[in-house]
Chains A and B, each alone.
Chain A
Amino acid sequence: MDEDGLADAFRTGDADGVRAVYERYSGPVFTIALRILGDRELAADAVQVTFLNAWRACGSLDPGRPLAPWLFTIARRAAIDLYRRRAHVPEPVELQDETTITLPPSMEGIWEAWQIRIALDMLTAEEREVVRAQHFGGLTHAQIAKQLAVPVGTVKSRSHRAHRRLASMLGHLAEVAA
């Protein structure tokens, strides 16, 4: 389903529409919630609040308005609300200096994480696997090839293709001309 179809399905408010939007955006919503809150359970709560709030507000989503930025705004607000509530809980930590004070990530960082997660979710499973192993796992192409039991050349071509696709989807964040 394309973005317009997804927005239309969601706008009806029925369970299938919510399911389709969840399948596309639960990953990015969870990513930014986890980035803001740093806690899996609270992030899961934020995901739940986000989709319920979005479902309740779906009538206000104008036709033609893109779904992703609208959902990003709801998700960010939900996570920050939880962050503020948690901030009222006294931490059993004695402040030594100002470096121990934690602040929520910047708006720019949250937006970039959202965009990257969407781009990663649009890669094929094989491309995603290689990119994950390389960046998150810190493995070389040779190590990835061994882990996946495929030739190094296959890993290199998957990696090259995946990074070209990522650059094409994320170029606007790096302010480069396509």
Chain B
Amino acid sequence: MTSQEWLASYLEQGAQMPGMDAPDTATADAARRLRGLLAAPELWTEPPAGLLDQITASITASTANVATAARTARAARKDSRRRARMPRPAGAAAAALLAAAAVVIGIVVTRGPVTTDVDLAGTRLAPAATAVAKLHATPSGLAIELDVSGLPPSPPGSYYQAWMKGPHGLVTIGTFHMRGGPGTVELWSAVSLAGYPTITVTREREDGNPASSGQVVLTSRP
């Protein structure tokens, strides 16, 4: 009997295997460990359904955000070249018009134009919840309007916390409770969507612990 045949028999029959000694102690220990692992529940548990959809949605959202940023940069470069080619008097007039328009826009829309919308879907913890995050770039950071619906008010002693997640980790962008019913939550972020492409909302306890509970109730999708 080869060592591999011995292992096959041991994995199948365990200690009941009659009259066959292990090749050596180390092999016997390893075989016992492997056989024990075969009975571990995590070896037989499947990941939750819908996880692949969430992953591909996050990837699609990241790709879309990168493409939007590239389009914006291209448009800015094109606009800059066009202005450079413009005859001086016309350029001056256009600049005056733009300055006037900027004053009007600055008064009417203090945060500037909406740059990106990110949809969030409820998880198993809040399947009826949905939200749209409208991200506005400002000189101070990203102003985020989170329109939330279907998310129940957080019970006393708990609250919701919004996060932006990326390869470098997790950055909180604010907390809220929704006890006044569905509506818009104002959040702020110092990090960019390109670096932290996933937006999530978690359920937290008022226990003084600043770390995420990991109980995600809303997560971004395309």
Contacts and interface: CB of A to CB of B under 8 A. Distances in A.
A148 B103 CA distance: 77
If over half of B's interface residues share one DSSP class (helix, strand or loop), that class is named, otherwise mixed; here it is helix
A176 B58 contact: no
Contacts of B213: 89
B37 A48 contact: no
Interface residues on B, range: 35 or more
Most buried by A among B34, B47, B198, B209: B47
Interface residues of A, number: 62
B43 A174 contact: no
A52 B47 contact: no
B211 A85 contact: yes
Nearest to A131: B38
B43 A136 contact: yes
Interface of A: 13, 15, 18-19, 22, 26-27, 29-32, 34-35, 39-45, 47-49, 51-53, 55-57, 82, 85-86, 88-90, 109, 112-113, 116-117, 120, 131-132, 134-136, 138, 159-160, 163-164, 166-168, 170-171, 173-178
Given A163-B12, A178-B2, 8 more contacts: A18-B59, A55-B55, A135-B35, A160-B12, A163-B9, A168-B8, A174-B7, A174-B31
Given A112-B34, A117-B43, A44 B3 contact: no
A92 B58 CA distance: 35
B191 interface: no
Given A45-B214, A163-B12, A167-B4, A19 B45 contact: no
A131 B48 CA distance: 22
A170 B10 CA distance: 13
B37 A136 contact: no
Interface in B168-218: 198, 207, 209, 211-216
Interface stretch (B22-30, B67-75, B126-134, B141-149): B22-30
Contact of B39 (A47, A82, A136): A136
